[in-house]
Copies of this chain bind each other. A is one copy, B any other.
Amino acid sequence: MNFVGQDILSVDQFERADVERLFDVADAMEPFARRERITRVLQGAILSNLFFEPSTRTRISFGSAFNLLGGEVRETTEIRETSFAKGESLHDTARVLSGYSDVIVMRHPEPGSVGAFARASRVPVINGGDGPNEHPSQALLDLYTVRKEMRARGGGIDGLRIALIGDLKYGRAVHSLCKLLALFEGVRFNLVSPPGLEVSEEIAAALRRRGHAVNEGHELETGIHHVDIVYVTRTQEERFPSQEEADRYRGLFRLNQAIYTEHCEPNTVIMHPLPRDSRSQAQELDEDLNANPNLAIFRQTDNGVLVRMALFAMVLDVVGRVDADARPVTWYTGKRTPR
């Protein structure tokens, strides 16, 4: 697809070549995100960060990505601040707010709402998550992380062996990642969930139709054998019909360093869409893994800034000009290792 001026609403918009082009641009953003260089290519441009549902990390990640390209950010963080309470339609809100910026990132609890907004908007809209439906930049940063981690280990996405662990029924991130991985060749999926939280039959069938190998199972330990990447998810408690039902699944699968050492190949990458649930009853990813260099979960969120910078640069058609007025950073940037 041609990114310029497009809305980014769904992973379904992407072909393999699109993803690869986007990721090459994301790679080029690294010196800026690492604060080695600054660019002002979007100086004077305005992002409207419209968050009708709270999401601090997604909001700040998009905002920082835009700032790193030199642009300004205007924000709204609460649905009750809006005119919806006075009966305004999403169409009117979109027509009005799209007059205030060059590009919009929108998050909204209602599936389809961001698409409806985009149809009435006069500037490109990026979906920052519309409830259980889509959150394409999350899926893209996950896949970008897969590519980067595999490259660092001498591999690629084709032929990848990946275990997806946990709540595969309600986990939006997993569904979208499956769709993007399906664009590549010969991926082997281990889909490991508690009984009742399996991925839907459509998703598994679609993967098989594209020629990928799909193994389903209910046991963590066997599921993480012989894979390159273990992608663990939180139980999406807020999407369950009731808290009682959610409670039945809490803490069923827990990956820790001992299990990793016993069952995983060396250098198996550990991913997670975050936040991970650190409450004692949950802990799907134990904190004793924090010292494991293959724990890629914070590299994932750092990669999110790169992917979002790339999306802005491609949608606003400034990829070729990013380097133009780039210059070295002159303040302290001695990034520290956490104590």
Contacts and interface: CB of A to CB of B under 8 A. Distances in A.
Interface stretch (A40-48, A160-168, A186-194): A40-48
Contacts of A64: 46, 74, 100-101
Given A88-B276, A275-B92, A102 B333 contact: yes
A54 interface: yes
B78 A74 contact: no
| Chain A residues touching B, majority SS | loop
Interface stretch (A131-139, A219-227, A253-261, A297-305): A297-305
A81 B99 contact: no
A11 to B, nearest CB: 21
State the copy count for this chain. Answer: 3
B86 A60 contact: no
A147 interface: no
A274 B89 CA distance: 11
Chain A interface size band reads 35 or more
A263 interface: no
Interface stretch (A23-31, A118-126, A177-185, A198-206): A118-126
12 contacts: A4-B332, A40-B43, A56-B76, A60-B76, A64-B100, A77-B77, A83-B274, A87-B275, A87-B276, A87-B278, A94-B338, A122-B338
A67 B66 CA distance: 14
A54 B81 CA distance: 5
Interface in A63-88: 63-64, 67-68, 70, 72-74, 76-78, 80-83, 86-88
B277 A87 contact: yes
A44 B329 contact: yes
A76 B56 CA distance: 7
B102 A331 contact: yes
Contacts of A60: 48, 74, 76, 97, 100
